[in-house]
Amino acid sequence: MRHSLAVFLLLSLVACSTDPNKEENNASAEELYTQAKASMEDRSYEKAIQQFETLQSRYPYGRHAQQSQMEIAYAYYKHSEPAPALAAVDRFIKQYPNSPNLDYMFYLKGLINFNENINSLLGTFFKQDPAERDPTALRESFDSFKELVARFPDSKYTPDARLRMQYLLNTLASSDIHVASYYLRRGAYVAAVNRAKSVLTDFPQTPQTRDALQIMVQAYDAMGMKDLSKDAQRVLNLNAAKDGIKPVEREMPSKAPWWQFWS
């Protein structure tokens, strides 16, 4: 019995001495941060997230706490986990409202929604138009970029944010055109007119305004509202003339692939 107990104690000591977590459990903040950064460089994002979270839990007021929160958000983003990535970004913005890196976090927030909903593999390979998807995330992406541009006009991330904002405006306008076209085809003319008007109101500087006016022309004409139809056609012709485009009567609004708006 004594011999068995001695063997058990010896094995326990050996197990403790070879515990793979022992070194990490005793690591300093600097060591944990170095390990986590190494995992990021190796693209071991899941491991990096665990290490940065360990660093935060042990040293919540240390000098690496703020940077760790940023790294966690970015690691989730690179690991294709948008929900926890956005949650990490929102925590950072709430905890560090005066951080010198706040512009980057707004940019990252916009980028997460932008890439998740526009540059997905399915959308690329199957030519799926993002305008046909739920536009909520696109609007959230636009709002994040808009806040970045408004609050940090001199940020190095602002020029790219402006380009993405214009693309998002075109895509959101195209989304409304897609819906208005659907209403027009189904004979829901009032709904078609209202959605087309929203394009004119919300996205007046986008190419989709011509499609919106064309939908209004057809919808008013179908409802027997000849005067309103003529008014919409007149505005359409004036805009076309101003842009140097010859007015063309179309049965349905054109629907260009989403990538044609990235210019």
pLDDT digits (tens, 9 = 90+) for 81-102: 999 999 999 999 999 999 999 9
For residue 51, tell me if it sits in a domain. yes
Instruction: Quote the mean pLDDT of the chain.
Output: 82
Of 68-72, 197-201, 216-220, 256-260, the poorest mean pLDDT is in 256-260
CA 186 to chain CA mean position, Å:
32
For residue 59, tell me if it sits in a domain. yes
- In this predicted structure, the answer to whether residue 254 has a pLDDT above a threshold of 70 is no
pLDDT at residue 245, as a whole number = 57
For residue 86, tell me if it sits in a domain. yes
For residue 112, tell me if it sits in a domain. no
pTM, full prediction: 0.73
| Rounded CA separation 226/218 (Å) | 10
pLDDT at residue 63, as a whole number = 86
The average pLDDT across 31-46 equals 94
The average pLDDT across 130-158 equals 87
- In this predicted structure, the answer to whether residue 258 has a pLDDT above a threshold of 50 is no
Length of the chain: 263
- The total number of structural domains that make up the chain: 1
Please, what's the b/e burial string for 169-204 (b: 16 or more CB within 10 A of its CB; e: otherwise)? bbbbbbbbbbbbbebbeeeebebbbebbbebbeebe
Q: How confident is the model at residue 121 (pLDDT cuts 50, 70, 90)?
A: very low
Contacts of 180 (CB under 8 A, 6+ apart): 191, 192, 195, 196, 199, 212, 215, 253
Name the maximum alpha-carbon separation found in the chain: 104
CATH code, domain with 85: 1.25.40.10
Of 38-52, 127-141, 162-176, the poorest mean pLDDT is in 127-141
Question: Residue 5 is encoded by which pair of tokens?
Answer: 């107990």
For residue 39, tell me if it sits in a domain. yes
- In this predicted structure, the answer to whether residue 242 has a pLDDT above a threshold of 80 is no
For residue 83, tell me if it sits in a domain. yes
Pick from 201, 80, 82, 194: which is nearest to 137 by CA? Answer: 82
pLDDT at residue 261, as a whole number = 32
Q: Are 49 and 79 in contact (CB under 8 A)?
A: yes
Structural domain boundaries enclosing 87: 23-97
For residue 48, tell me if it sits in a domain. yes
Contacts of 213 (CB under 8 A, 6+ apart): 196, 200, 232, 233, 235, 236, 239
Q: What is the DSSP string of 189-244?
A: HHHHHHHHHHHHHH-TTSTHHHHHHHHHHHHHHHTT-HHHHHHHHHHHHHHHHHTT
For residue 50, tell me if it sits in a domain. yes
Q: How confident is the model at residue 217 (pLDDT cuts 50, 70, 90)?
A: very high
- In this predicted structure, the answer to whether residue 249 has a pLDDT above a threshold of 80 is no
Q: What angle separates helix 189-202 from helix 208-222, to the nearest 10 degrees?
A: 150
| Rounded CA separation 239/175 (Å) | 21
